[in-house]
Structure 1
């Protein structure tokens, strides 16, 4: 990938978990990077190591407000992505997805930038089709406690494709499945960070439901690689394209692996399943393989080792 031709790349949500890794990769490729974040879930500490690079700039800004900058490419990652954070202020979550998409698409239209939307596997809801291909329209509760995120992201996809049809904008849409790795927020309520933090503190590991529900887990380095490859595809390719690791694990299997790798002595306890929690989630990545020649390389065990090492440095035990 050659990003040296681009004078400036905008990453919204650039101080978040995924955004900070993306900024790092773009800088390594020789790009000028403008990181925009309102620091609701993002953290300055995630990008502190990049601040000495003259090609890196941070701007505190909320994407629900218009932004006037000159850029060549836009990666729109801004939105809280964990249930704890996006349900805390659900109206603002919807605004971030919908108004944020409108503002970033408007910016892309004004400056002629190529723009990529970080969508989510949540657009599939609690799926009736398994694994989930891009052609599956999903099974989403439009009035549930997760709807602010699920429907906000679905509406953002609608906006992207309408801007493509109406204004011939160069768009890309990726649907991100569960991703984990260093710089995850310790209190984001996601299952990987929850289990690791609980194991390191020798607290009970909390599994919701009977633990038979499944997820697929993609290590952050693999995910950033396919995001970059997607942005580099010809304009004819828009997506949406699933990106994630098709390896499927039950919550019990994940808990057992985390306990083994941490050496923790925690007990596993069970709590009631939250409303609208999907029973299973696994991407069909045939399209990503065919178009981008990509598939994940890092195993769950190897990725967890890196993630646990990171959390040992940030979690007080």
Structure 2
């Protein structure tokens, strides 16, 4: 079977760059598309000389004509610091970006995967979160540009599937971490590691008892690829995340311990609509994709800390 030509939007971002790298190793031809708002050429510079890798500077808010077999639509700032910086642009990226990529997929008859998010569940009233839960989302808060943008993108994907028989895949990504995270993205893993390595106080919002689940990026990439390879009759949505659940305080203490830092923990008010609990039910991913994350938190943190040491 001939190798596939695959478009990865947001391909120079944290997750996108790892996905491009993995797909190249599988012998695929990769078009990496990014506008470099949060992505970085540094994330893919080691791929630049690969004969099957092409980097395209482009914003998914604008249409583009390409010939591809598969599309992974990852383009969108994913951390509150970045997506709240220009909230209207964030909503446009989610909604117009989805429309443009769906239009492209329809024209060339490509399979298209949408990187949705656990944020579609909002501040959940059920725990853990299953795919049949509709969520508890504030439609006009500070996080709404991202939460509702991603919810609308899911709507568009399923409407294209129903109306045009487009082969779609929808995954909901829970907290993911690893090398190439943006050091100033404001997310808890990168925040804690950078603060610990530079001797700053570790900033915990709220009382630190709110929980998160942390999936190492290599595990997530395998889930994305396994979802893309499913038959056309399986669309998702599917949760992809590590069901291991930790309080923010547990994470802070683990980072301090693993970096041998003298940082102290300080507490600040919880931001608006910040979820109290977040843990995926991955029963569908396990059953349909035969997927289970294998990297334990300590192992993943070790690799991530080593990466951030090179950034300082």
> TM-score, normalised to structure 2's length?
0.99
What does 1:1-317 correspond to in 2, within 5 Å? 5-315=2-312
Deviation at 1:88, TM superposition (A): 0.3
Q: What per-residue deviation string (whole Å, max 9, x for no partner) do you get for residues 71-126 of structure 1?
A: 00000000000000000000000000000000000000000000000000000000
Deviation at 1:194, TM superposition (A): 0.1
Deviation at 1:302, TM superposition (A): 0.3
CA distance in 1, matches of 2:166, 2:207: 46
Q: What per-residue deviation string (whole Å, max 9, x for no partner) do you get for residues 15-38 of structure 1?
A: 000000000000000000000000
CA distance in 1, matches of 2:96, 2:276: 30
CA distance in 2, matches of 1:128, 1:39: 36
Q: What per-residue deviation string (whole Å, max 9, x for no partner) do you get for residues 248-306 of structure 1?
A: 00000000100110000100000000000000100000000000111100000000000
Deviation at 1:7, TM superposition (A): 3.4
| RMSD after superposition | 0.6
* Over 2 Å off, 4+ runs: 4-7
Preserved CA contact (<8 Å) 2:4 2:70: no
Preserved CA contact (<8 Å) 1:6 1:73: no
Deviation at 1:311, TM superposition (A): 0.2
- The count of corresponding residues between Structure 1 and Structure 2 is 312
Structure 1, gaps ≥5 residues long: none
CA distance in 2, matches of 1:67, 1:215: 37
> TM-score, normalised to structure 1's length?
0.98
Deviation at 1:5, TM superposition (A): 3.1
SS at match of 2:154: helix
